[in-house]
Amino acid sequence: MKRSKKERQQQLIETIKHNPFITDDALANQFTVSVQTIRLDRLELSIPELRERIKHVASKSFEDEVRSLPLSDVIGEMVDIELDQRAISIFDVKSEHIFKRNQIARGHHLFAQANSLAVAVINDELALTVKSILSFVKPVKLGDRVIAKAFVTRKDQEKNRTFVEVTSTVENEIVFEGQFEMFRANDASKGDLK
């Protein structure tokens, strides 16, 4: 079923609002139109290109928000955080992150992005990983942009534990999943997710 231009543009707005990190190629595939059509739609709707959307989101400063570690210790670029709720970071895979022979990213970089995000989302001065369960779902390659999303799923205030799930994607495909049990020193937030 072919959409009218107006319908496509409305759906384009909603799609980008839901996922500001989606590429023009992915949008073209989703709407079964050319990349040029997507670019023209974006231009007409005054929606900036991906690089500008990322800069806009990343321009927010999270230095004052992240309590559990210096922002410079977060692997990847922090683009959103709501302490004890959720966080998002972006990690661009470069030549120093891959195995030279096959251009596949070393797994410890994906783990480091996810683990540092799980620490950063904790609203406490001290947060440490107690246990993690990991799944490397699909290889990540040179040039891929990995978007990691962390969600706090549960708190055990008696044991000062917070449980965080992290899902990492490349072009909306899951490449890594992790469940992290985090120790927090003081359980600073009073939100009850138990």
Task: Write out the DSSP string of 49-82.
Answer: PHHHHHHHHHTS--TTT--SS-GGGSSSEEEEEE
- The answer to whether the 5-58 and 71-184 domains have the same CATH topology is no
Q: Domains of the chain: which residue ranges?
A: 5-58, 71-184
pLDDT for the residue 153? 97
Nearest to 142 by CA among 178, 102, 171: 102
pLDDT for the residue 22? 84
116-140 pLDDT, tens digit per residue, is: 999 999 988 888 999 999 999 999 9
- Give me the amino acid identity at 154: R
CB 109 within 8 A of CB 169: no
Distance of CA 139 to the CA centre of its chain: 17
46-76 pLDDT, tens digit per residue, is: 888 877 776 665 545 565 567 767 667 788 8
pLDDT for the residue 49? 83
Domain 71-184 belongs to what architecture?
Roll (3.10)
pLDDT for the residue 62? 61
Mark the ranges of the chain whose per-residue pLDDT is less than 50: 59, 187-194
Full-model pTM: 0.68
- 3 state SS of 181: strand
Nearest to 144 by CA among 177, 99, 105: 105
Helices and strands (H, E) in the chain, number of each type: 5, 6
Q: 5-58 — its CATH code?
A: 1.10.10.10
pLDDT for the residue 58? 56
